[in-house]
Amino acid sequence: MIARLLLALLFCLLGQTGIAQTVQIRSGDHEGFTRLVMTLPARIEWQTETREGGASLVFARPGLVFDTSRVFDRITRARLADIVAPTGQSRLDLSFACDCGLLTFWHDRSMLVVDISASADLSIAEVAAILQPRPQAPDMPGPGFGSEPLSRAAVLLSDRLDQTLQPDRDRFAATPRRSDPFRANALPAFDLADMRAALVRELDRAVTQGLLSSARPLHALADTPHGPLHPGPMTAAQDDATASTGQSNTPVARGRPNIRVQTGLDSDLKARAAALLGQSDHHACLPVAWVNVPAWGSQAPFYQQAGPLNRRLFGEFDHVMQDTAFQLARLYIYFGLGLEARQVLSLIDRHDREMSLLTDLAMILDTGEAPDGSILFGQVGCDAPVALWSLLAHDPLPEDLTFDHKAVQRGFAALPDHLRQQLGPVLARKLNAAGHMQTADGILRMIDRSTDESRPETALAEAELAQSKGLTGTAEAGLEAVIDSNASPSAEALLQLIEQRLAEDKPISFDHAQLAGAYAHEYRSTAFGQRMARAYVSALAASGAFGQAFSEFDRMRPDLTAQDQSGLQNILVGYLTAGANDLDFLRYTLANRGGAPQTLAPDLALAVSQRLLEAGFTRAAETYVSAPEPGPDGHAQRLLRANIALAQNRPRQAEVELLNVEGADVDALRARARDLAGEHGTAIDYFMASDQPDKAADSAWLAGDWTRLRDAEDPVMQEMADLLHPRDDPPYPPEGGVLARNRTLLEQSAQTRKTLGRLLEAKPVPQMPES
């Protein structure tokens, strides 16, 4: 007990210094070899250390913890007697129960595969014997660089090159006869030992650099009897081995060793061609049978097809019947049950490309896309069913992706009705988002022909297609129908409707805003829920419920990123400025409920400042207008700052704000500033320059400039100018009595009263507020 406590304490102390990375080791027995598979954090450096009765794998990354607890659950100890992972050493010690060897290779991104077999690799004794220096003639250099050992590929190829080239040795080494008339052009004598050494060196280098790969696995080469290689078609076992290691079935030239050679130019051209065709490194098209989903089931009821397979799934001692599980997984995919298919696939002890493909198909059924690294991503240029599933694997579709639209439609038409209804909306939405509206329309028409009742998923895809075509009314009606259906896509339809109306500055009903709040709570802690929450608060503001909108914004603010918080703040303040009454506007703006003024967009800050100025809150308005900047925004800021200065009775500050700025609107503000400063004469010119003759007349009146007042457009002002500053002498009669002069004065007085009356009617005196 004390020893266990000390051991637990030791593990706790080790956990203080670093974080261990646990690597699960899976195992499986195959015909002729035992396989161990481990998924590491990444492709890391490792080396094999041979020892008597076994070998060790030593990894360069510290902190690896290997879980070996389930290694012998699926394998016997016929080949692997024991496996130990020493604590804190990032290594595996393998003990063999036979004269076995190791074949270790990388698969996929970070999966290390270890095959243990007496035939899958050379035994440790054979490897040691091969690596011993061979006796050579003094004039025959060794095949390596000095004493540097050969790689695994070089060792295997070396013996075969001896026997493959041996029959032709005399032909190349023969010396031309003296009587040969073409002696000058004859081939010189070759040193076959040098040729062999150089060839092995270059092959070794090419394999190391990844420019050369075996057309068959290395254990197949090791099993081949030493001697000339006989050409022939690859067997099914060889093809399966090739698929399991991720290598393509490249044909091997007749009469040549089983190697495939490509230059750097070939690799570059292949990559460029694949990029143009929208394909990845998986250049070979997948077999059609691997994705022939319509052939994996029938029109019979589900229970009649799945029941017999489920009964035969487990044999004696709960042993999984591999073929039955494979058929059952395919049947689940046929019926669109992705999760069930993946559960059955996890019972199958196979790790080849076909199994990976079935897992990807199941993921597409569940999530609408394939996982990263799927082999389907490079298959858009293939035949109909393969191209169809390749498009379904992408999310989103690249807009520059080129594919055969007719082939995709043929593949979709071949699917059973239930899969067309399940996958059709997903495919149509992807095509529409990538700009392929015509093909998306064709997919939706196929769905409509297969059923009389439209599903909400189909209605959502049709609404998005109508929006892409510019049919806004049809799109909104379709989204409303999906929302009212209260089905799975209702939440996404509501989100699209709210975002669409927000973008078009259209009103949103309070009911839709409340429904968005319910969906935001339902999908909380997800990316979709966060997006719905932002739409919910925006919809509240758009519906006029500003109090609830700002309360929800304050509640959500701690969970929002800085970017989301700024965007939502601008939406709230924008609707508040444009649609709220004066009381609500002042209540939330003066309290900075929408955030600090400097966090608003420049155009929105100007709108808020303008409305505050109109409400008479000049100090608050000034805080929303920052220092002017060059450009149109700076021009508008200068004008608004000048207006604020005039409202604060600071005409000189207003003119400072307008320095180096020109325009009719600027002249109007300068005129007001000069008028407020008492420079009415100068104000007249600015008013006339800004096309405001009435205000110019007012300034002329204040300036006492009767001559310019007579040129006013208002006849009342012209009469007042003549009245106050007659053009000629008074029209008194040169001769006459007092009575005549008094009559003239009475007439002038009556005319003056009429002129003053018209002046008061045109420019009434402001009413004094009642106390």
- Model pLDDT for residues 583-597, shown as the tens digit of each residue: 999 999 999 888 888
Q: 708 lies in a domain?
A: yes
Phi, psi of 314, deg, nearest 5: -115, 135
* pLDDT of 411: 93
> Helix 322-334 to helix 338-345 angle, to the nearest 10 degrees?
170
Alpha-carbon span 380 to 274, nearest angstrom? 11
* pLDDT of 738: 78
Q: 743 lies in a domain?
A: yes
Of 200, 232, 261, the last residue of a domain is 261
Name, of 169-178, 350-359, 443-452, 596-605, the range with top average pLDDT: 350-359
Do 154 and 236 lie in a common domain? yes
* pLDDT of 419: 95
- pLDDT tens, residue by residue, 515-546: 999 999 999 889 899 899 999 999 999 999 99
Tell me: pLDDT of 160 over 70.
no
Tell me: pLDDT of 564 over 90.
no
- 341 in Cβ contact with 327 (< 8 Å): no
Do 117 and 193 lie in a common domain? no
CA nearest to 637, candidates 652, 620, 657:
657
Q: 634 lies in a domain?
A: no
Q: CA torsion sign, 457 to 461 to 466 to 470?
A: positive
Q: 714 lies in a domain?
A: yes
Domain with 724 in it: 662-762
Alpha-carbon span 90 to 59, nearest angstrom? 6
Q: 212 lies in a domain?
A: yes
Contacts of 393 (CB under 8 A, 6+ apart): 360, 364, 369, 370, 374, 376, 377
Indicate the number of domains in the chain. 3
pTM to 2 decimal places = 0.55
Is the bond into 396 cis (omega within 30 degrees of 0)? yes
Query: Where is average pLDDT lowest: 104-108, 342-346, 359-363, 697-701?
Result: 697-701
Q: CA torsion sign, 719 to 722 to 727 to 729?
A: positive
Alpha-carbon span 342 to 336, nearest angstrom? 12
Tell me: pLDDT of 500 over 50.
yes
**Does 635 or 649 have the greater pLDDT score?**
649
* pLDDT of 318: 87
Tell me: pLDDT of 130 over 70.
no
Q: For the chain, give the mean pLDDT.
A: 77
Do 109 and 156 lie in a common domain? no
Could you tell me the pLDDT band of residue 734, with boundaries at 50, 70 and 90?
Answer: low
Tell me: pLDDT of 349 over 60.
yes
* pLDDT of 61: 86
Query: Where is average pLDDT lowest: 68-82, 243-257, 555-569, 609-623?
Result: 243-257
Token pair belonging to 219: 């254990």
Of 261, 276, 294, the last residue of a domain is 261
**Host H or E run for residue 243:** helix 236-244
Do 251 and 147 lie in a common domain? yes
Q: 119 lies in a domain?
A: yes
Do 99 and 193 lie in a common domain? no
* pLDDT of 247: 38
* pLDDT of 627: 67
**Does 282 or 547 have the greater pLDDT score?**
547
Do 149 and 232 lie in a common domain? yes
- Tell me the DSSP string of 176-219: PPTT-TTGGGSPPPP-HHHHHHHHHHHHHHHHHHTSEEESS-HH
Q: Name the residue type at position 235.
A: T
Could you tell me the pLDDT band of residue 608, with boundaries at 50, 70 and 90?
Answer: very high
Residue showing tokens 């009642």:
770
Alpha-carbon span 675 to 665, nearest angstrom? 15
* pLDDT of 365: 96
* pLDDT of 301: 94
Do 99 and 26 lie in a common domain? yes
Q: What percent of the chain has pLDDT over 70?
A: 70
CA nearest to 404, candidates 269, 277, 286:
277
Tell me: pLDDT of 279 over 60.
no
Do 100 and 195 lie in a common domain? no
Do 198 and 151 lie in a common domain? yes
> Helix 192-209 to helix 152-165 angle, to the nearest 10 degrees?
150
Do 159 and 57 lie in a common domain? no
Query: Where is average pLDDT lowest: 203-212, 448-457, 671-680?
Result: 203-212
Q: What is the mean pLDDT of residues 194-200?
A: 77
Could you tell me the pLDDT band of residue 239, with boundaries at 50, 70 and 90?
Answer: very low
Do 202 and 104 lie in a common domain? no
Q: What is the mean pLDDT of residues 14-37?
A: 75
Contacts of 633 (CB under 8 A, 6+ apart): 602, 603
Tell me: pLDDT of 736 over 80.
no
Question: What CATH number did the domain enclosing 76 receive?
Answer: 2.60.40.3470
Q: What is the mean pLDDT of residues 234-243?
A: 37
Of 261, 280, 310, the last residue of a domain is 261
Do 162 and 237 lie in a common domain? yes
Alpha-carbon span 20 to 15, nearest angstrom? 8
Burial of 8: CB neighbours in 10 Å, binned 0-12, 13-18, 19+: exposed
Residue showing tokens 């500033």:
673
Q: 353 lies in a domain?
A: no
User: What does each C-alpha distance from 741 to 123, 691, 725, 750, 754 come to in angstroms?
Assistant: 145, 44, 20, 14, 20
**Does 354 or 707 have the greater pLDDT score?**
354
Q: 94 lies in a domain?
A: yes
- Tell me the pairing of strands 46-51 and 80-84: unpaired
Q: What is the mean pLDDT of residues 19-39?
A: 84
Could you tell me the pLDDT band of residue 105, with boundaries at 50, 70 and 90?
Answer: confident
* pLDDT of 13: 46
Could you tell me the pLDDT band of residue 194, with boundaries at 50, 70 and 90?
Answer: confident
Could you tell me the pLDDT band of residue 233, with boundaries at 50, 70 and 90?
Answer: very low
**Host H or E run for residue 54:** strand 54-59
* pLDDT of 282: 45
Contacts of 42 (CB under 8 A, 6+ apart): 109, 110
* pLDDT of 723: 65
* pLDDT of 176: 42
**Does 315 or 118 have the greater pLDDT score?**
315
- pLDDT tens, residue by residue, 377-409: 989 988 889 999 999 999 999 888 889 999 999
Residue showing tokens 């929208």:
278
Name, of 58-67, 126-135, 417-426, the range with top average pLDDT: 417-426
